[in-house]
A and B are shown apart, each in its own frame.
Chain A
């Protein structure tokens, strides 16, 4: 039987989450499963269960959470958020956990396996560079890195259709207020 060992847990993890914007309500959770009932991902992917994710966070199973795909399976639909009788704000708590993980990865402390944080990074970096997101570049980079050139080539007919219809931009364009965007990133992310 695959049992857990409480001595290996990080008892500070729940406080770490509660310090993040959005993570404040984690310990209000009494594990009632209201979140999981109605979760569209739980219905089709057994690996995902928001109630279990909340329980793991409160227990301090940081390593298990960061080394698995669990939190990256949340689709941010806010169904659980509205259903929770304890106002845990599960979607935001999961995002707070993801923020800790993404920050630790940026600082070189951990390596995240899921393609989801990779895409988040690709997308946010594009805003940092241009102010507007450069959709075409971000999507192509993600497909090449995580699904391969072959998959990208399969999208050729769709790409040509979109180009013809003016739905793809080929050149990224910077907004004028790049100084303000840079300031936002500097203040929010500090010296990371």
Chain B
């Protein structure tokens, strides 16, 4: 199983632990990933008003991956959405394909190579029974709130995996790792990420709702698949506590960090010391130093 890996900018920045745990878990699972050379930013959520620019920026990355012949893989839900959009645009419209390639100039994107999110690869291709077979550390004490966020399953015509209203991929993965996925009503509710820099009050309100449900259902941690959600739920958690005068103290783990723990990796290899809200409670529950 081989993929061209598109980490996305945040894996070099705020989501460095996501990048570390992605590399560690893929290595242990035997998924061969090779970083695509000289990739660029997909424009994240901020490029959305200019769809032509959005498609062209992602098409450049896909064009580079296409030269390798292997499908692209990412763990960033936003990069996944943006490259998928370029892939479908090029495959569904000759006009869009011409426009995009005009912008690309000296490279061409044929639309042969698309992008997959690692969660989808694990469930749909690798097989959860094969993930279970590699589990070395028991997570049975752990109650996990699965949080999908927006772009992993929506819009359905772009994401094209799992159920957009009540997705199960992450719940099933958590179960396959031996942990308990708690029913979580906010699993598909937006964290407010794209408004953090303009309407912090609204972003905090939305994230507070998610974190409070995780606390109320007795989850030991929240598990996420998007680095933007991490900025709100982990990095901004203290700010949210301050704004509302509440205590949350909810550890937020990337799903690759949870897999890595089950596979027997040391916490440091997974960057668990880099999460803002301390993950010590989770590790203690698992009996890990």
Residues of chain A touching chain B, judged by Cβ–Cβ distance below 8 Å, are 20-22, 40-41, 44-45, 72-73, 75-79, 81-82, 91-92, 95-96, 98-99, 101-102, 114-120, 123-124, 126-127, 131-133, 135-136, 139, 142-143, 146-147, 158, 161-162, 165-169, 175-177, 180-181, 183-185, 187-189
A132 touches B41 (CB 8 A): yes
A165 touches B46 (CB 8 A): no
B276 touches A81 (CB 8 A): no
Q: Mark B44-75, 1 if CB is under 8 A from A, else 0.
A: 11111111110111001000000000000000
**How many angstroms between the C-alpha atoms of A165 and B16 in the bound complex?**
9
Chain A facing B: main interface SS: helix
A135 touches B9 (CB 8 A): yes
**How many angstroms between the C-alpha atoms of A50 and B60 in the bound complex?**
33
Q: For residue B121, which residues in chain A have a CB less than 8 angstroms away from its CB?
A: none
Residue of B12, B49, B194 ringed by the most chain A CB atoms within 10 A: B49
Whole-angstrom distance between the Cβ of B121 and the nearest chain A Cβ: 22
Whole-angstrom distance between the Cβ of A186 and the nearest chain B Cβ: 8
Q: A78-B151, A135-B13, A136-B13 are in contact. Are A40 and B190 (CB under 8 A)?
A: yes
Q: For residue A78, which residues in chain B have a CB less than 8 angstroms away from its CB?
A: 150-151, 154-155
A76 touches B150 (CB 8 A): yes
What are 17 contact pairs spanning A and B, CB under 8 A?
A: A21-B52, A41-B195, A45-B199, A75-B195, A75-B203, A76-B45, A82-B154, A99-B51, A116-B195, A123-B43, A123-B46, A124-B43, A165-B273, A168-B13, A180-B105, A180-B107, A181-B40
**How many angstroms between the C-alpha atoms of A81 and B150 in the bound complex?**
11
Chain B facing A: main interface SS: loop
Q: A116-B195, A162-B235 are in contact. List 19 more A-B contacts (CB 8 A).
A: A73-B195, A75-B203, A76-B150, A76-B194, A82-B164, A91-B48, A95-B48, A98-B48, A114-B198, A118-B198, A119-B46, A127-B47, A131-B40, A162-B14, A180-B105, A180-B107, A183-B103, A183-B104, A183-B105
Whole-angstrom distance between the Cβ of A155 and the nearest chain B Cβ: 9
Number of A-B contacts (CB under 8 A): 173
**How many angstroms between the C-alpha atoms of A184 and B99 in the bound complex?**
11
A45 touches B202 (CB 8 A): yes
A180 touches B43 (CB 8 A): no
**How many angstroms between the C-alpha atoms of A168 and B56 in the bound complex?**
27
Q: A165-B273, A180-B106 are in contact. Are A116 and B198 (CB under 8 A)?
A: yes
Cβ of B285 under 8 Å from chain A:
no
**How many angstroms between the C-alpha atoms of A115 and B194 in the bound complex?**
12
Choice from B39, B53, B203 contacting A124 with Cβ under 8 Å: B53
Q: For residue A101, which residues in chain B have a CB less than 8 angstroms away from its CB?
A: 49
Choice from A114, A123, A147, A188 contacting B56 with Cβ under 8 Å: A188
B154 touches A79 (CB 8 A): yes
Whole-angstrom distance between the Cβ of B261 and the nearest chain A Cβ: 19
Q: A119-B197, A180-B60, A188-B53 are in contact. Are A44 and B40 (CB under 8 A)?
A: no
B40 touches A132 (CB 8 A): yes
A124 touches B106 (CB 8 A): no
A133 touches B103 (CB 8 A): no
**How many angstroms between the C-alpha atoms of A22 and B47 in the bound complex?**
13
Q: For residue A73, which residues in chain B have a CB less than 8 angstroms away from its CB?
A: 195, 199, 202
Q: Mark B167-201, 1 if CB is under 8 A from A, else 0.
A: 00000000000000000000011101111011110
A124 touches B50 (CB 8 A): yes
A175 touches B40 (CB 8 A): yes
Q: A44-B202, A116-B198, A184-B103 are in contact. Are A77 and B154 (CB under 8 A)?
A: yes
Q: For residue B188, which residues in chain A have a CB less than 8 angstroms away from its CB?
A: 79
**How many angstroms between the C-alpha atoms of A101 and B188 in the bound complex?**
30
Cβ of B205 under 8 Å from chain A:
yes
